[in-house]
Structure 1
Amino acid sequence: MKAAQITSFGTPDVLRVSEIDRPAPGTGEVLVAVEASSVNGHDALVRTGRVKVVSGSTFPIGTGLDFAGVVVGMGPGVQGCRAGDRVWGMVHPRKRHTVAGAAEYVVVPAGRISPAPTGVTAVEAASLVVAGSTALIALRDCVGLADGERVLVRGAAGGVGTAAVQLAHAMGGRVTALARGRHATALRDLGADEVLDYGSTTSDQIGPFDVIVDTVGSELRCYRSRLDEGGRMVTVGLSVRALAAIAASAVHGSRRIRAFSANPDSALLSDLAAHVTSGALLPVVHSVFPLTDIAAAHTAFERGGVVGKHVVTITD
C-alpha cells in the first residue's frame, strides 16, 4: 500500500510516498481504508522535529493526524462497528506512528473512531476531525461558552478558527472574528457578527470579551487583558513563549489562559458528527491535493493566508 512518511526532519521536501505492507489490526483495533486526511499544525510540528520527544527520531515517521474512510477489518474484541461502516477518526497525537492518516490504510484503536457525519464527503469530513474537535473542546469543555456571551476568535480563518466561529455561533455566542480583512465576507457567512482585520487592529482597541479562543499563540498576555470580569481564555497555538504566558496567568484564577491538546475519543467524535449532520458546523475546504502531492499540501499549509483546510485525498 501507499503511505506518506517523513524521512528526516525538515521542510516538506522530506515527505515521501512509500510502498509498504498493509498493517493488520490487533486486539481492539480496526483497519480503515482511508479516503482523505487533512494537514494540521501537529503534522508540521512532527515533520520539523519540534515534537521529537513524542515522535522519536527513528525514521520513517507516518504523517496525517486525522482521516475519513471505511472500516475493512477488525481485530478481536471490537464491538459496535463492522466492515463497510463509514468512519472518521484520529491517530494518537502523543504516540509515534510509522503509518498515520495519510496512507491507503491505517490501524487505530476502535475507541478513536466514530461513524462519520452524514451529508458530507470524505474530503469534507477529514477537514473537520481535528479542527472541529479542537474547537468543540475549547468552547464546550474548557471555557463553557454560555448563550449570549461575547466571543473573540483569534486566527478565525484557519481550520480551528472557522470551526470555532461556527460552533460559537451555534451555542448562542456573539462572535467577533479576528483575521485578515479580505476574509470578512467568508467569516460573516460562517456566523461571525463582527470581523476585525488583525493587520490594523491592536488588542487594546477591542473588547472586553467573556470568552477568547486563540489559535495564534502570540501576545497572549495582551489579549488576556481584554477579558471582562469572569471571562475565560483558551489557546491552541502553543509555543515556548505561549507556555510561559500560560504559566504566568495562573494567578488570575478564572481569567487565566487555558491550554489543552485535542485527543478526542469516540464519544466526542460522535458529538462533533451531530453538529455536522445538523448543519451547525460546515466543512471549509480551501484546496485538495492527491497523496502524491502531500509535500505541496504541507507547503500550502505553511504559507497560510487562506480560509479553511488543505485536504489530501488518498483514493482516486
Structure 2
Amino acid sequence: MDDRMMRAVLFDRFGGPEVLYVGRIPRPEPAPGEVLVRVRAFSINGGELAARSGSLRLFTGRKFPQRVGLDLTGEVAALGAGVTDFAVGDRVWGIVGRTGFGSAAEYVTVRAERLGRVPDGLDLAAAAALPVATTAITALRDKARLRPGERLLVCGAAGGVGNAAVQLGRAYGAEVTALARAANLDFVRTLGAHHAIDHRTVPPRELGLFDVVLDTAGTDLRAFRRLLTPGGRMVTIAFDLARPAASLSYIAASAVHGGGRVRFFSGNPTRALFDDLARQVAEGGLRPVVDRYFSLEETAAAHRALEAGGVRGKYVVRVD
C-alpha cells in the first residue's frame, strides 16, 4: 500500500449523511509551524453537519471534494520547521481551526498552537470527547465570568458542549439547572446538575431567573434572554441556521437594546486553553462522556445519529 496516501472522509456534493464516503487522498506534509498528527479519534460536531448540508457554503465554498472532522486526538507523526515544543510520539488533542475541517482522516496537519498534550492515563479515543469542552470553559469562565453561588442555566445540557458546561458549572460552584429531553434528565443529574428539566414540557417563562444562561442551539434566544437577572449574562455558541440573518442581527442588537447582552462566539482554542482543559480533567472537574463509538467507515452513521437528536455526551469515531 502506498504510504503517501491515506484514508479520509469526503463528500462531493452538499446533502444528508449519505453523501459522505471514505476515499484515498495524499497524506499531507507539515508546513513550517505545523504538526502532522496520526489521528486516533475525532468527535462529531454540529458545525460540520451544517457544512456538509450546505448551510455554511458561504464560508466553506463550493469546491469539492470537501472534508469533515473538526477536533482530534492522536500522536505526533512529524514536525514542521520551527516547531520545538512537541516531539514525535507525543499524545495530543486539538482542533483544526475555526472554519476548517479535515480531522476525519488517518493524518492531518494542525498549527502547533492549536494542539495540547493529552493527560497521562486518559484513553485517546475517550479523550476525543473533550476538545469541544474548551468552548464551555471559554463560555462560562471568560465570557460569562461565572461566580460561585450564581444560578446557571444550560440549554442543551446533554450534548457535547452542554454536558461539559454542566460539569464545569458544578466545579465552578454554581447552582446548575440543565435543560434536556425527558429521557436524558437522569443523565444530566449524574453530571452534576442540581435541577434537570424537560425542555419540551416546561416553557422558558416558567424556569425562573438566572445569573448566567448558556445556550447551545441558538433557536430561542429572545425567550432565554428574558430569564436574566439584573446584571445577568447570556452566552450562545450558535445561531438559528433557519434564519441566520435575523438571528445574528438580534445578537448584535442585544448589545445596545434592552437588558443583558447576548454574547456569541465560535470556539477557536489555542495551547493555553488546552492546558486549562488538561488541568480540569486532572483535578476531577471534567470527564469525557462518550455516547457511542463508530469506525471511520461509519462516519455517515455517526452524522445521522447526531442529527436524530438525543445524544448523551459525544459520538466519537475511532480511526483505527
Class of the TM-score when normalised by the shorter of the 2 chains:
over 0.9
The residue aligned with 1:195 is: 196
Moved more, 120-129 or 241-250: 241-250
Secondary structure at 1:119 match in 2 = coil
Give the whole-Å Cα distance in 2 for the aligned partners of 1:94 and 1:248.
24
Tell me if 1:92 matches 2:93: no
Instruction: Map residues 62-77 of structure 1 onto 2, 5 A cutoff.
Output: 62-77=67-82
The residue aligned with 1:238 is: 239
Tell me if 1:117 matches 2:119: yes
Give the whole-Å Cα distance in 2 for the aligned partners of 1:252 and 1:226.
16
Tell me if 1:160 matches 2:164: no
**What's the CA shift for 1:187?**
0.9
Instruction: Map residues 148-227 of structure 1 onto 2, 5 A cutoff.
Output: 148-227=149-228
The residue aligned with 1:7 is: 12
**What's the CA shift for 1:303?**
0.4
The residue aligned with 1:80 is: 85
Secondary structure at 1:20 match in 2 = strand
Over aligned residue pairs, what C-alpha RMSD do you find? 1.3
The partner residue of 1:255 within 247, 260, 267 is 260
Distance 1:253 1:115, change over 3 A: farther
Q: Deviations over 1:21-64 (max 9, x none)?
A: 21111111110000000000111111011112221111111210
* Runs of 4+ deviating beyond 4 Å: none
Does the 8 Å CA contact 1:65/1:101 hold for their aligned counterparts? yes
Give the whole-Å Cα distance in 2 for the aligned partners of 1:17 and 1:93.
23
Does the 8 Å CA contact 1:118/1:277 hold for their aligned counterparts? no
Give the whole-Å Cα distance in 1 for the aligned partners of 2:142 and 2:57.
28
Q: Deviations over 1:56-104 (max 9, x none)?
A: 1111112100000000100110011100100000111224x5xx11100
Secondary structure at 1:89 match in 2 = strand
Where does the alignment leave 5 or more consecutive residues of structure 2 unmatched?
1-5
Secondary structure at 2:255 match in 1 = helix
Give the whole-Å Cα distance in 2 for the aligned partners of 1:119 and 1:252.
49
TM-score after normalising by structure 2: 0.94
The partner residue of 1:101 within 100, 103, 106 is 103
The residue aligned with 2:3 is: none
Amino acid of the structure 2 residue aligned with 1:295: A
Amino acid of the structure 2 residue aligned with 1:185: D
Between the aligned residues of both structures, percent identity stands at: 49
**What's the CA shift for 1:253?**
6.9
Secondary structure at 1:177 match in 2 = strand
The residue aligned with 2:134 is: 133
Give the whole-Å Cα distance in 1 for the aligned partners of 2:52 and 2:97.
16
The residue aligned with 1:304 is: 309
Give the whole-Å Cα distance in 1 for the aligned partners of 2:92 and 2:288.
16
TM-score after normalising by structure 1: 0.95
Tell me if 1:39 matches 2:15: no
Amino acid of the structure 1 residue aligned with 2:187: A
**What's the CA shift for 1:242?**
2.7
Moved more, 159-168 or 267-276: 267-276
Distance 1:254 1:225, change over 3 A: closer
Secondary structure at 1:81 match in 2 = coil
Give the whole-Å Cα distance in 2 for the aligned partners of 1:15 and 1:146.
43
Give the whole-Å Cα distance in 2 for the aligned partners of 1:10 and 1:182.
29
Give the whole-Å Cα distance in 1 for the aligned partners of 2:82 and 2:90.
17
Does the 8 Å CA contact 1:117/1:125 hold for their aligned counterparts? no
Give the whole-Å Cα distance in 1 for the aligned partners of 2:31 and 2:15.
32
Q: Deviations over 1:101-125 (max 9, x none)?
A: 1100001111110101333211211
Give the whole-Å Cα distance in 1 for the aligned partners of 2:318 and 2:306.
15
Give the whole-Å Cα distance in 2 for the aligned partners of 1:266 and 1:166.
22
Q: Deviations over 1:123-162 (max 9, x none)?
A: 21111112x0111110011110011100000111111110
Q: Deviations over 1:238-283 (max 9, x none)?
A: 1214323212322257711110010001111111111122221111
Amino acid of the structure 2 residue aligned with 1:157: A
Does the 8 Å CA contact 1:7/1:16 hold for their aligned counterparts? no
Give the whole-Å Cα distance in 1 for the aligned partners of 2:282 and 2:296.
27
**What's the CA shift for 1:206?**
1.2
Give the whole-Å Cα distance in 2 for the aligned partners of 1:254 and 1:60.
45
Amino acid of the structure 1 residue aligned with 2:76: V
